[in-house]
């Protein structure tokens, strides 16, 4: 038996039917009890690496595997997933494809049942897991009717009940709001610390995990680009940002100020950064003087001011889904003007999507009214509303149906019964806008997920919407792609389009939205400029949200004169530079 | 709807799923053996009693019955002329066509019986599904020596129905938001209008199928030969009583069927003859 729980020796893997390898010469060892954080942009090979560890590769996904993977001494070529999954339990990204049974209890028991655990023992394990994950209230319910956070907890629970020695967790929080993901990540780190389990976790949310991980690797294009302790890896915070990841904002700040601060160790957590900066500023006698305050405008603030014309007018809106006991939206009043740029934030189930679906009439008010461009949504069909309102859904696979990109993009304009030459003009223009004109005669099925997402956006842009709604630009994607989508949207705003964006990513909202709505329990809990909203963390906490890390850092350093509404790393960098500069 | 479960802890809920299947079988057998509306009403009253005991809200049943009205009327009318008794009321057609479509007292009672057994069977089936979880059916099937793979596949299939419904809803929303019109009066155009959703539905379902398969593999499904079950089916005293009652009811039904002259509607007829002052033929 080797001293490592997992050894990956010079592994390359190509999926059947693909030309490019998904993994290229990957070598990796994981020690027992280690928490290894794996990160990298979409398509970097992270999920492929996970699938190698429990034998899905090469037994379930056939393809060409080179090199050797062994898990607790077992060669994965010789042992299939049935054996290996008992050693290395794997949790996938999307909980809804892993919940297999009619009740939460049955689901948690499923894996243990397959391993022939005696029924009395299964019962005990299920009860333990339910208690650990705080699922007592829902244990008899169908897992498919739970919130995203609870679903992910159940999926994790069914792995826990199998009692593997190694946990392989593939983006366990990608569909979760900040609180849901914090809960899941906390459970995972408890597991590592208390039960001394070996954990390999793929995650984009670095801020929450780098403090817990023993080691991290950064993958890109199928191979490992950086590896070491989080501290060592994050010393290259800027390089990591450049490949499309989101390193902790505090690390980025220190990396940008490397020369001025001359700080020996780049902080990786908020607390480390607060301690470091407090020490630095106090020792050098720096404070930030108000006259020196030079705001760095966010992307949203660089845009021209909105107009006075009303785009959306919501009055006393209450909405209840059929067969439910309580309303999903109650008594919402809201006015949005032309050219406004709105971010909508809130927990899963707080009513964000339910609210924005009202703007295009996919849902109609139970009482109250919604008027968009003067049209009462109850008196107009969705196709009528779609002439002015564009809605970008999360999953491009849920709408792409043509075998040619140009037909796909032309679908919307054709439904609007535009003349054929106008349709052609719009297709070309919108594809150019999303930088995909070269794909015009491709089959959308052959494209990468990122390209599909762009085609998806182009097909909405081709309808020339005056109001654009984006439901989560970043889920299941890396940060860079979310930013690209938002950059595109900024161009539209310059032309007077109104934008409403739903996001769990506070950094995206801080950078790209000028006004923010905070939803809670089907009501608008707070509504104001993005700076005002994030300047008030006490209020945000009531909805279980947190401002961006950099905002929290500035707030913690309030006694040195930092304002409480810093939104971006650039702004904080400029403030610290002027503090230091002001003294010298 | 077809497999809707209504949680509870009643006798019906607690009964072993195998015995529940036996109970449903008993109701079907009784429905098949008995023709007399009064006897069927007695059996039906038993089922209703169990519905009440199970605390199933009445709207769960009434929705079903509303759907049954047209079928029941159809059954009633088509069976009306099928049996022509001595107490004839009128004929709608010449004798050589469809027996003359002669309506008789005996024919009415016979048709009522046909409708009653239909309603009895459907009601019993509905009560069974409302009080039984899908995993219970699967356990029962596995205990009845069905392959375990099939059992698990069935269980997963059923628990995915609501997920697929949501997914189809999302896909339709996405196309509507691009200006696509679904609501046509003409059924042909309606079907055609579904086409732009068909491809994404198939594609996402295939992808989901793959993901589910990977997830199942990753939970050790390959070890199925030694599989255990958290909930084990064990006969409780209640189950033995219920078995005896069900079998006894079937034997009694068989006995009644034997001793009753054809077409087996004599009990209701005798009451009606008495009430109407008609001398039994």
Residue B1: which pLDDT band, with cuts at 50, 70 and 90?
very low
Among A102, A137, A141, A461, which would you mutate to test the B interface (most chain B Cβ atoms within 10 Å of its Cβ)? A102
**Mean pLDDT for each consecutive 10-residue tract of chain A (584 residues)?**
85 90 94 93 89 92 92 92 91 85 88 91 93 85 80 90 92 76 80 86 88 92 94 92 90 90 89 93 79 80 88 95 85 94 90 94 94 94 92 85 91 91 94 89 84 89 94 72 86 91 91 95 95 94 91 92 92 87 52
Structure tokens at A500: 């409403």
CB pairs under 8 A between A and B: 182
Structure tokens at A268: 């990786």
What is the largest distance, in Å, between two alpha-carbon atoms of chain A?
Answer: 73
Nearest to A567 by CA among A372, A384, A298: A298
- Residue A2 has a CB neighbour count (10 Å cut-off) of 10
- Kindly write down the DSSP assignment for every residue of A134-159, as one continuous string: T-GGGTTS-GGGS-HHHHHHHHHHHH
Contact (Cβ atoms closer than 8 angstroms) between residue A31 and residue A196 = no
Rounded-to-integer distance, Cα A497 and Cα A490, Å? 9
Say which residue the tokens 């001494």 belong to: A73
Chain mean position to CA A431: 25
d(CA B89, CA A95): 66
- Residue A132, helix vs strand vs coil: helix
Interface touch A401/B198, C-beta < 8 Å? yes
**Among candidates A89, A117, A463 on the partner chain, residue whose Cβ is nearest the Cβ of B179:** A463
Beta strands in A54-211 (DSSP E): 63-71, 74-75, 88-91, 166-170, 198-202
Cβ contacts of A60 on chain B, cutoff 8 Å: 213-214, 217
Please answer whether residues A420 and A496 qualify as being in contact, where contact means their C-beta atoms are separated by less than 8 angstroms: no
Q: Output the CA–CA distances (angstroms, integers) from residue A26 to A4, A67, A93, A365, A459, in the order listed.
A: 16, 9, 22, 54, 38
CA distance A196 to A423: 61
| DSSP structure class, residue A273 | H
* Distance between B147 CA and the closest CA of chain A, angstroms: 14
User: Edge-to-edge strand order for the sheet containing A198-202?
Assistant: A88-91, A166-170, A198-202, A35-39, A215-220, A223-228
B158-212 confidence digits (pLDDT tens): 777 778 888 888 888 988 899 888 777 777 877 777 888 888 888 888 888 888 8
Distance, in Å, from the CA atom of B171 to the CA atom of A25, rounded to the nearest integer, reads: 40
A113 and B162 within 8 Å at the Cβ level: the answer is no
- Alpha carbon of A162: minimum distance to chain B alpha carbons (Å): 8
Contacts of A555 (CB under 8 A, 6+ apart): A535, A537, A547, A562, A564
Mutation target to probe the B interface, by most B beta carbons within 10 A, among A113, A146, A470 is A113
Dig out the tokens for A534 from the structure.
């994030």
> Which of B159, B177, B230 is nearest residue A386 as measured by Cβ atoms?
B177
* A16/chain B closest Cα distance in angstroms: 15
Cα(A4)–Cα(B85) distance, integer angstroms? 88
Contact call for residues A575 and A295 (beta carbons, < 8 A): no
From B171, B211, B214, residue closest to A398, measured CB to CB:
B171
Instruction: Please tell me the distance from the alpha carbon of residue A55 to that of residue B39, in angstroms, as a whole number.
Output: 62
Chain A residues whose CB is inside 8 A of the B173 CB are 357, 362, 393
The residues with which A9 forms a beta bridge, in sequence order, are A68
Q: 3-state class of B57 per DSSP?
A: coil
Residues of chain A numbered 20-39 and touching chain B (CB < 8 Å): none
At A447-489, the pLDDT tens digits run 877 788 889 999 999 999 999 999 888 765 567 778 888 988 8
User: Measured between CB atoms, which of A60, A89, A401 is closest to B214?
Assistant: A60
**Which residues of B are less than 8 Å from A97 in CB distance?**
208, 211-212, 215
Tell me: the pLDDT tens digits for B229-257? 888 778 889 999 999 999 999 999 999 98
Give the C-alpha separation, B281 to B266, whole Å. 11
CA distance A454 to chain B (A): 15
β-partners of residue A335 are A313
Looking at CA atoms only, how far is residue B7 from chain A in angstroms? 9
Six token digits for residue A319: 């909405």
Q: CB–CB of A106/B212 below 8 Å?
A: no
CB atoms A81 and B224 under 8 Å: no
3 state SS for A369-434: EEEECCEECCCCCHHHHCCCEEEECCCHHHCCCCCCHHHHHHHHHHHCCCCHHHHHHHHHHHHHHC
Residues 6+ apart with CB under 8 A from A132: A157, A160, A187
* Partner residue facing A82 (CB), from B195, B221, B232: B221
CB of A82 less than 8 A from some CB of B: yes
- Give the single-character DSSP code of A304: P
Measuring CA to CA, which residue among A365, A362, A435, A381 is closest to residue A405? Answer: A435
A525 — phi, psi (to 5°)?
-85, -35
Q: Do A415 and B178 touch (CB under 8 A)?
A: yes
pLDDT(B36) > 50: yes
For an interface test with A, which of B167, B216, B230, B234 has the most A Cβ atoms less than 10 Å from its Cβ?
Answer: B230
Nearest-CB residue to A82 (from B170, B220, B228): B220
- The whole-angstrom separation of Cα B149 and Cα B133 is 18
Helix (H, G, I), strand (E, B) or coil at A367: strand
**Residue A100 and residue B155: Cβ atoms within 8 Å?**
yes
| Residues A60, B217: C-beta atoms closer than 8 Å | yes
Pairwise CB contact (< 8 Å): B176 & A81: no
Sign of the CA dihedral running B274, B275, B277, B281: negative
For B163, nearest residue in chain A (alpha carbons): A144
Question: How far is A572 from A250, CA to CA, in rounded Å?
Answer: 10
Distance to chain A for B253, nearest Cα, Å: 37
Alpha-carbon gap, residue A537 to A552, rounded angstroms: 8
Q: How many CB atoms lie within 10 A of CB A432?
A: 13
Question: Are A480 and A247 within 8 A, CB to CB?
Answer: no
Tokens of B135: 């995993």
Name the nearest CA neighbour of B100 among B76, B84, B113, B86.
B84
Instruction: Give which of B148, B145, B121 is closest to B216, Cα–Cα.
Output: B148
Q: Are residues B211 and A460, on separate chains, in Cβ contact within 8 Å?
A: no
**ipTM here:** 0.81
Q: Identify which of B135, B167, B224 has the shortest CB distance to residue A101.
A: B135
Interface test with B, best of A51, A61, A94, A97 (most B CBs within 10 A): A97
CB contact under 8 A, A101 and B176: no
Tokens (6 digits) for A254: 């220190």
Give the pLDDT band (50/70/90) at residue B67.
Answer: confident
Nearest to A518, CA basis, from A332, A352, A397, A339: A352
CB A26 within 8 A of CB A224: yes
Measured CA to CA, the distance from residue A575 to residue A572 in angstroms comes to 5
Tell me which residue of B163, B167, B154, B230 sits closest to B197, measured CA to CA: B167
Are B204 and A398 in contact (CB < 8 Å)?
yes
Angle at A295 between CA A289 and CA A301, to 5 degrees: 160
Q: How far apart are CA B32 and CA A399, in angstroms?
A: 50
> Does residue B225 surpass a pLDDT of 90?
no
Q: Which residues from B are below 8 Å from A124, CB to CB?
A: none
Residues of A in contact with B159 (CB under 8 A): 99-102, 142, 144
Query: Is A310 an interface residue toward B (CB < 8 Å)?
Result: no
Dihedral pair phi/psi, residue A392, rounded to 5°? -95, 115
In chain B, what residues touch A86 (CB-CB under 8 Å)?
Answer: 220
Structure tokens belonging to residue A271: 């607390």
Chain B hits for A460, Cβ within 8 Å: 177-178
Structure tokens at B198: 């068909």
Instruction: List, in order, residues 6 or more apart from A535 with CB less than 8 Å away.
Output: A547, A551, A555, A563, A564, A565
Q: Give the largest Cα separation in chain B, rounded.
A: 76
Is B232 within 8 Å of A398 when comparing Cβ atoms? no
Comparing CB atoms, the residue among A145, A381, A401 nearest residue B200 is A401
Among partner residues A94, A101, A162, which is closest to B220 by beta-carbon distance? A162
Report whether A460 contacts A411 (CB < 8 A): no
**CB-based contact B222 A81, cutoff 8 Å:** yes
The number of beta carbons lying within 10 Å of the beta carbon of residue A317 is 22
SS3 at position A101: coil
Backbone angles phi, psi at B119, to 5 degrees: -65, -40
What's the gap in Å between the CA of A211 and the closest CA on chain B?
29
Element at A220 (helix H, strand E): strand A215-220
């Amino acid at each position: 038996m080797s001293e490592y729980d997992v050894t990956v020796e010079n592994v390359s893997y190509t999926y059947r039917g693909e030309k490019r390898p998904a993994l290229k010469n990957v070598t990796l060892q994981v020690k027992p009890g280690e928490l290894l954080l794996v990160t990298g942009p979409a398509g970097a090979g992270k999920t492929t690496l996970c699938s190698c560890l429990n034998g899905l590769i090469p037994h379930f996904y056939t393809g060409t595997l080179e090199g050797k993977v062994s898990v607790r001494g077992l060669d994965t070529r010789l042992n299939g997933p049935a054996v290996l999954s008992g050693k290395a339990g794997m949790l996938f990204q999307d909980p809804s494809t892993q919940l297999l049974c009619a009740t939460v209890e049955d689901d948690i028991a499923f894996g243990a049942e397959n391993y022939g655990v005696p029924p009395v023992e299964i019962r005990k394990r299920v009860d333990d897991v339910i208690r650990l994950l705080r699922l007592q209230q829902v244990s008899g319910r169908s897992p498919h009717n739970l919130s995203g956070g609870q679903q992910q907890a159940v999926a994790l629970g069914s792995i826990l009940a199998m009692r593997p020695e190694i946990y392989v967790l593939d983006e366990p929080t990608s569909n979760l709001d900040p609180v849901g993901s914090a809960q899941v990540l906390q459970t995972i780190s408890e597991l590592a610390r208390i039960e001394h389990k070996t954990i390999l976790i793929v995650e984009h949310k670095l801020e929450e995990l780098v403090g817990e991980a023993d080691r991290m690797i950064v993958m890109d294009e199928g191979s490992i680009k950086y590896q070491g302790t989080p501290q060592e890896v994050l010393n290259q915070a800027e390089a990591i940002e450049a490949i499309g990841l989101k390193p902790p904002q505090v690390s980025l700040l220190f990396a940008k100020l490397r020369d001025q601060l001359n700080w020996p160790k780049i902080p990786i957590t908020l607390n480390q950064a607060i301690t470091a900066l407090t020490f630095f500023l106090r020792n050098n006698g720096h404070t930030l003087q108000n006259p020196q305050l030079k705001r760095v405008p966010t992307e949203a603030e660089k845009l021209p001011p909105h107009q006075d014309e009303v785009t959306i007018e919501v009055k006393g809106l209450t909405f209840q889904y059929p067969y439910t006991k309580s309303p999903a939206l109650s008594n919402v009043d809201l006015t949005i003007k032309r050219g406004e740029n709105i971010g909508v934030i809130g927990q899963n189930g707080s009513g964000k999507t339910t609210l924005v679906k009202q703007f295009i009439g996919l849902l109609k008010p139970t009482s109250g009214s919604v008027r968009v461009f003067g049209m009462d949504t109850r008196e107009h069909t969705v196709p009528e509303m779609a002439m002015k309102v564009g809605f970008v859904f999360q999953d491009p696979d849920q709408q792409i149906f043509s075998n040619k990109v140009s037909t796909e993009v032309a679908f919307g304009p054709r439904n609007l019964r535009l003349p054929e030459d106008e349709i052609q003009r719009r297709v070309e223009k919108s594809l150019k806008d999303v930088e995909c004109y070269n794909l015009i005669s491709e089959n959308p099925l052959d494209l990468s997920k990122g390209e599909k997402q762009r085609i998806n956006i182009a097909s909405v842009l081709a309808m020339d919407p005056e109001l654009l709604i984006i439901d989560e630009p970043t889920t299941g994607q890396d940060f860079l792609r979310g930013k690209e989508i938002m950059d595109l949207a900024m161009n539209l705003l310059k032309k007077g389009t109104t934008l409403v964006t739903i996001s769990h990513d506070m950094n995206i909202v801080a950078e790209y939205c000028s006004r923010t709505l905070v939803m809670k329990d089907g009501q608008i809990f707070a509504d104001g400029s993005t700076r005002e909203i994030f300047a008030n963390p006490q209020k945000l906490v009531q909805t279980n949200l947190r401002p961006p890390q950099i905002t929290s850092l500035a707030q913690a350093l309030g006694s040195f004169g930092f304002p409480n509404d810093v939104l971006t790393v650039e702004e904080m960098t400029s403030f610290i530079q002027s503090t230091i500069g002001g003294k010298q | 709807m077809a497999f809707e479960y209504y949680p509870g802890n009643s006798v019906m809920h607690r009964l072993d799923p195998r015995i529940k299947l036996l109970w449903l079988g008993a109701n079907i057998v009784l429905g098949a053996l008995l023709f007399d509306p009064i006897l069927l009403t007695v059996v039906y009253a038993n089922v209703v009693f169990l519905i009440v005991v199970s605390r199933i809200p009445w709207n769960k049943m009434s929705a079903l019955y509303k759907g049954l009205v047209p079928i029941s009327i159809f059954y009633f009318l088509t069976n009306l002329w099928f049996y022509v008794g001595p107490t004839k009321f009128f004929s709608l057609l010449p004798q050589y066509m469809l027996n003359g479509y002669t309506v008789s007292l005996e024919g009415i009672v016979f048709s009522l019986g046909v409708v009653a057994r239909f309603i009895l069977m459907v009601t019993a089936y509905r009560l069974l599904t409302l009080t039984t979880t899908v995993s219970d059916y699967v356990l029962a099937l596995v205990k009845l020596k069905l392959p375990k793979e099939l059992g698990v596949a069935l269980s997963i299939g059923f628990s995915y129905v609501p997920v697929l419904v949501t997914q189809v809803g999302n896909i339709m929303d996405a196309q509507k938001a691009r200006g696509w019109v679904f609501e046509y009066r003409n059924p042909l155009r309606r079907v055609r209008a579904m086409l732009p959703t068909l491809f994404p539905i198939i594609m996402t379902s295939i992808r989901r199928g793959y993901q589910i398969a990977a997830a199942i593999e990753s939970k050790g499904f390959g070890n199925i030969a030694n599989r255990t079950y958290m909930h084990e089916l064990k006969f409780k005293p209640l189950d033995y009583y219920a078995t005896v009652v069900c079998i006894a009811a079937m034997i009694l039904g068989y006995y009644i069927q034997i001793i009753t002259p054809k077409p087996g509607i004599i009990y209701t007829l005798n009451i009606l003859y008495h009430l109407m002052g008609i001398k039994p033929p």
